Structure 1
């Protein structure tokens, strides 16, 4: 329970700072609450892009109205959710979209990666970066530019002032070394 109280106190303090015009505090409020507010908006309007837009509009309202927040009347997350919820309902009414009943919330698909998938992706990305760092030099630079920058062999050869055949060899050998390095991980 102490963690919840600490979180509430932190959010209350951040909202007080937002009321004084502190942009960093608004960023903190956003970071602490955006997932929750997005879920509220998505449940109501059932459209990811619209929900994201409504959440952004909600933070504009928070910026303008933070001075009206009274921690004696409501918890900060309740106040923030009310702003987002009202924005989503207003959007549904303005666009003649039926508001989804709360029971349907479980049926809304979430196509974002799960936490284990995100961890696996980050670990894989970190392993690739580590192997590129170990590869080093011109081959690593060429592979990064080709795969992350979208350059062709010809563009890379011109950019790095080497013959096209040399560039192809660097990339081919570098990819073979990367494959070995990543396979060892």
Structure 2
């Protein structure tokens, strides 16, 4: 391994023969690092090619004073594997996108409960006089005011309030039983 710095210097000058020698001397070690980190032989083989492309392009950056050539090569492999692992992680969605994924529709159980409650309310509404049932529907479904309902049914305002209050009490009693 004494010749690795010399090979890297020749690779920096574009020497393909030196690159081949470097590959023969180091590919096993770099492949084992990539395989251990990436956990897939196919991914490690692909990553090894990328690592050697980086080595070819960056051989001139190797500084013998900074550390051994093998350590420099191993760090290139390690950092490339880390980049690959980061790329595998799914990107988080924005809050708005995540909100769109969640269904706002009621569950089948909620639908069944709503139908049951609606059926009970409708049955109880039939126990009211027609004019009072109409006033309750218009007040609580359509949102008409007491005054509008009083004018619509031709009764005084306080009479309409009494109709609605008594009708709600009767509905509550009916639904409670």
**Which TM-score applies when normalising by structure 1?**
0.48
Pick the structure with greater CA Rg. 2
